[in-house]
Structure 1
Amino acid sequence: MRLPAWLSQHIAALRALLVMTVLLGLVYPLAFVLIGHAPGLSGKAEGSVITVGGTKVGSSLIGQNFTDADGNPIPRYFQSRPSKAGDGYDPDSTGASNLGPESVVDTLSDNPDDASQSLLTQVCSRSLAIGKLEGVDGSRPYCAPDGVGAVLAVFYRDGFTGPVTRAVSVNETGQTFLQTYAGVTVEPAKPGVDYVAEGGVVTPIRGNAPAKPVIPADAVTASGSGLDPNISVAYADLQAPRIARERSLTLDQVHKLIKEHTDGRALGFLGEPAVNVLELNLALDGKR
């Protein structure tokens, strides 16, 4: 007996569903699981976990902080780049801040929950802190000496033109990084006031910092995922004198370790050489 056309179509669709479910839902995933457990691939398939003395100490693919209980850098270890993933390198909260180059004005508030730093101030404060830790000049263009973005809200008589009538240091509530601007006394900002909405023109002030800062960019900016386990060779070299001093090593010994744990460009031409911080610190401890 010939089945009705509509029933034949439904049966054919059901068969196709079952076949594709078996192939794509079972066979395909299981095949890749087996491939992932092949010799030489099993470690990467399981997260590239590094084990020392039977204890898992981390992953070569996910960065981690080398700080004390108060969040301060431990001087005897190389420091990772900043992370915006949760409280830092949290795989369950991976992501970036989504702040861009135009993020230069802080949100000031008496309530800490409502206050937030601009990307510029985050970069400035990190650079200042690293400069103190490493004993180098942490100044950067458009950064005030106190580690906030050097930005003014400038008011002109005719809106965007004419003489300057007022200038406010929008990221400072106390002493300002400039005393005067265009002959006008610079005022500190008041929390909760939107000076841009009032007509102020956002004006970053470059200052006299060197064009090429001593602190490299990856030391003061987070990666897109917030999980980057690597730092640049420049940032590793910057930390080398501190590591040598804290561990009673020669600078040549530390640089040798950095070189041994530096990965070259992908395929020989993509990206920049990078240093895996966890593996380098384990090498310092003589454990890897």
Structure 2
Amino acid sequence: MRMHWAALRALLTLTVIVGIGYPIAVWLIAQLPGLRDNADGSIVHVDGKAVGSSLIGQLFTDADGNPLPQYFQSRPSAAGNGYDTLSTGASNLGPESIVDAPDKPGLLTLVCQRSKAVGDLDGVDGSRPFCTRDGVGAVLAVMGPGPTRVVSVNEPCADTPRPFLSTYAGVRVECAHEGEDYSAGRIVPIRGTAHGEVPADAVTASGSGLDPHISPAYADLQVNRVAEARGMNPEQVRHLVAQHTDGRDLGFIGEPRVNVLELNIALDHMSAGG
């Protein structure tokens, strides 16, 4: 009985200290001036209404998922359907993911699709090395020592009238046939001559999928489109971007960045005549 009583006292004591006292102490410290905003989630309010967090990105799209032209767009997110804090994480696709699966594009094709979409939206050159004009990975399966056969593995015959490349090493390039296995071939990505204007953060997701920032280069790419949609002078919009651009932490850590939510709120405020 003495041992059971000692164990019960230890349980009750630790419950009070670790289960009650410690959380209350941490909460009280977090409410100190200068810490409270971060502890409460860095919530951003507009007219008394919470519209998001300055630490978590969000989508600026319509009900069908189309980008709203009057807003700056965030970088892609692989967290759930986009910036889902319950599904935070990356796509787990790596540099070797250049051949598309039947039901899932590889990383290269994802990058190509996103770059083409950004180029179409913002009226810039969305072409990219190792990408076809239609926005898929420019990858060949080369079979035989000759070679004897060459297939554009990311271009199914049902989707393309002819492959992105006519011939390779003197052999006619074929489009891919559904259900056919090309794993015996040597996988060869084709660089091409494209030199697009779309920066890397516009086509790749962050490791967490929650990054609220974009690079100044990606923000500058969107200035003309946002200005036109709002009937504003591009220089006004560019000035707002500069105001919401943060430099490197401590002058040398990280890269300059633009908080998309805060920038879009400032745009709404200016458009409303505030």
TM-score (structure 1 length as normaliser): 0.88
Partners of 2:74 and 2:82 lie apart in 1 by: 10
2:52 is the alignment partner of 1:58: yes
2:40 is the alignment partner of 1:46: yes
Aligned to 1:160: none
Partners of 2:239 and 2:179 lie apart in 1 by: 52
2:215 is the alignment partner of 1:232: yes
Residues 127 and 140 in structure 1, CA contact (< 8 A), matched pair in contact too: yes
Aligned to 1:3: none
Structure-to-structure mapping, 1:53-202, within 5 angstroms:
53-108=47-102, 115-157=103-145, 163-173=146-156, 174=160, 175-196=162-183, 199-202=184-187
Cα displacement (A) at 1:22: 2.4
Aligned to 1:277: 260
The alignment of Structure 1 onto Structure 2 pairs a total of residues equal to: 267
| Superposed CA RMSD | 1.7
Residues 103 and 118 in structure 1, CA contact (< 8 A), matched pair in contact too: yes
Aligned to 1:206: 191
- Point out where structure 1 has 5 or more consecutive residues left out of the alignment: 1-6, 109-114, 158-162
What per-residue deviation string (whole Å, max 9, x for no partner) do you get for residues 161-206 of structure 1? xx2110000000122100111111111111222311xx10110000
2:242 is the alignment partner of 1:259: yes
What per-residue deviation string (whole Å, max 9, x for no partner) do you get for residues 55-93 of structure 1? 211111111111111111111100000111111111122
Partners of 1:14 and 1:269 lie apart in 2 by: 53
Cα displacement (A) at 1:9: 6.3
Residues 107 and 192 in structure 1, CA contact (< 8 A), matched pair in contact too: no
Partners of 1:172 and 1:138 lie apart in 2 by: 19
Partners of 1:192 and 1:81 lie apart in 2 by: 34
Aligned to 1:111: none
Partners of 1:262 and 1:59 lie apart in 2 by: 17
Aligned to 1:112: none
Partners of 1:206 and 1:12 lie apart in 2 by: 72
Cα displacement (A) at 1:11: 5.5
